Amino acid sequence: MNSRALSFQTRKAMQVHLGEQAGTELAELVNHLIVRIDELERSKVNVTRVVPEPEEPCIYNLSSFRRAA
């Protein structure tokens, strides 16, 4: 496991103060979140915008798009 995992003392303290089942469940959830964050950090990609975003959305006046008869 990585260095950010919960220590034995932390798990035990949670089990003592929250109850064994709740402490274990919370510790497993925290460990799962740590693993997920590590995954996301490894797969993180910087996004470079090719076209700058407009400052204001474009709103078209539909009456200006008349069909030629």
Name the packing angle between helices 8-18 and 20-42 (round to 10°).
140
Torsion over CA: 29, 32, 34, 36 (sign): negative
Q: What is the pLDDT of residue 26?
A: 94
Return the amino acid letter for 5.
A
Torsion region of 33: left, alpha or beta (phi above 0 gives left; psi -120 to 50 gives alpha): alpha
Confidence class for position 16, pLDDT limits 50, 70, 90: very high
Each residue's pLDDT tens digit, 47-61: 777 776 667 665 665
Confidence class for position 36, pLDDT limits 50, 70, 90: very high
Q: pTM score, two decimals?
A: 0.57
Token digits for 64? 């200006």
